[in-house]
Amino acid sequence: MHHLDFSLKIISPAFVAGTMEKEAHLMGRSVKHRLIEHDGLRVPSLRGVLRFWFRAMEGIADTELLWKKESDIFGSTDSGQGLRIIPVGQTPWTPLVIGGEKDKIRGGDPLAYLGYGPLNYVNKEVGVSSHNKSIFRDAIPEGTVFNFRAVGKREQIDTLKNCLRLLHLFGGIGSRSRRAWGSLAVGSDIFAEFNAGDSVTDWFEKVLKQVWPNGLGDRDHLPAYSAFSSHTRVRISAATRDYLETMKEFHKQFEEVRLYKIFHPEKSHQIARRDHDLEVRDSDPRNNDLHDVPRRIAYGMPYYPKSRNHNWEIEYKGYTADGKESIDRRASPLFLKVFQGPDRKFYAVSLFLKAQFFSDDKFKLGKVPRGGRLPFPGWEAVDKFIANEDWQRITLP
């Protein structure tokens, strides 16, 4: 058997844990809420993340073949023992509350926008917090390091190295990890050397070449699931000071191309203005049909725009022709990462894993089961995000 020692360093706070109900304090009152327990970075969570990057790396259209290859590496009831991952230590850490009265985050702040879900609004005094009216959630703070040893066959260890390389470049763990929370840095001797005169972009591409030494191969088709292909796009920003500034970089781009500016709609991107007007018009409950589908749905589902001030809401779902089957979730194809480069500086890395919006083409988009349905409107909204002229292009092998 072969082994590999590696570490995972939390680069931006990570919301990774299980749920239980416990008494906690909110605004001076003792209340019972679901409390997300801070039990660290567990092996099952890590294995799930590594399986994702394995599937994305392989890009195999035949799902049965993909499952067999995945089982050979990570194990299954049919194939037996797979790669073993053993925790071997961690740095001491204290659970972190994000936001709240001591460290107030306002609604609309980059942290609140990118952390929607774990972070929710409490009131004017508290602002946005991970301890809010619906859930109490602590984060693993940045800088925390978890150490592991992997044991397996040579092929399993070699495959793990490539999964860890992709995790280091693009990935994170926990809730909102596709929006820059829970970004990870892998510590191991598996990476290409960072030589004098190399740019971070050069090094990034050298590591990708380690993953695919012979190139991606024939991947011109649009994948049915999130996988690397000729349609994949990668960008990297200039260096930033820390994870907070990196998140501001992402939020600035969302403001440019996605956000509808309520108080200055004329300053909104044309996609945001068009989508907003369309959503308001189609929210009328007297009409079951859609005029069109908003372009911003390309960022993923649920897609449920609403306005409390103007009393309208609409939820878009995928429906079959007879309305008997529906889909209300589609993971975002856009992965945002706080990346710590080989020069120890921070960078905003954006990965667009373009794939079929619905893997089954029997689904189309609508608002109610018996209403009209329309096809997915395309990837223009995400294409605009990734096309930031201030970011450098990363070329896949």
Distances (CA, A) of 32 to 19, 24, 25, 97, 221: 13, 6, 8, 17, 50
Supply the DSSP string of 366-386, one letter for each residue. ESSTTS--B----SHHHHHHH
- Residue 5 has φ and ψ, to the nearest 5°, of -95, 135
For the chain, what is the largest distance between any 2 Cα atoms, rounded to a whole number of angstroms?
66
Q: Using CA atoms, how far apart are residues 166 and 160, in angstroms rounded to an integer?
A: 10
Q: Is the preceding peptide bond at 302 cis, omega within 30 degrees of 0?
A: yes
- Report CA Rg, the chain: 22
Q: What pLDDT shows up at residue 183?
A: 99
Q: What pLDDT shows up at residue 131?
A: 85
Per-10-residue mean pLDDT of the chain, 397 residues long, equals: 97 77 45 53 95 97 94 87 93 91 89 94 88 82 97 98 99 97 98 94 98 94 96 98 98 96 93 97 95 98 93 97 95 99 98 97 95 96 98 98
Q: Using CA atoms, how far apart are residues 6 and 39, in angstroms rounded to an integer?
A: 20
71 backbone φψ class: left, alpha, beta (φ>0; ψ -120 to 50) = alpha
- Residue 105 has φ and ψ, to the nearest 5°, of -115, 125
Q: Residue 157 corresponds to which tokens in the numbers above?
A: 């260890």
Q: Using CA atoms, how far apart are residues 312 and 344, in angstroms rounded to an integer?
A: 47
Return the number of other C-beta atoms located less than 10 Å from residue 12's C-beta.
28
Q: Residue 208 corresponds to which tokens in the numbers above?
A: 């990708």
Alpha helices in 263-336 (DSSP H): 270-282
**99 within 8 A of 129, measured Cβ to Cβ:** yes
Partners of 20 in the β-ladder: 35
Return the number of other C-beta atoms located less than 10 Å from residue 390's C-beta.
10
Q: What pLDDT shows up at residue 352?
A: 99
Q: Using CA atoms, how far apart are residues 107 and 231, in angstroms rounded to an integer?
A: 35
Q: What pLDDT shows up at residue 327?
A: 96
Supply the DSSP string of 343-368, one letter for each residue. TS-EEEEEEE----SSSSTT-EEESS
- Residue 250 has φ and ψ, to the nearest 5°, of -65, -45
Q: Residue 108 corresponds to which tokens in the numbers above?
A: 């609309």
Q: Which residue has the tokens 């397996």?
A: 152
Sorted by sequence, the CB contacts under 8 Å of residue 242 that are 6+ apart come out as 346
| Nearest partner of 360 among 244, 270, 225, judged by Cα | 225
pTM for this predicted structure? 0.94
Provide the CB-side half-sphere exposure for 3 (13 A, CA).
8
Structural domains of the chain sorted by starting position, each given as residue range(s) with its CATH number in brackets: 2-191 (3.30.70), 243-393 (no CATH)
Sorted by sequence, the CB contacts under 8 Å of residue 225 that are 6+ apart come out as 55, 355, 356, 359
Q: What pLDDT shows up at residue 38?
A: 54
Q: Using CA atoms, how far apart are residues 242 and 247, in angstroms rounded to an integer?
A: 9
The side-by-side arrangement of strands in the sheet containing 184-187 is 84-90, 145-152, 2-10, 184-187
Residue 9 parent element (H or E):
strand 2-10
Q: What pLDDT shows up at residue 249?
A: 98
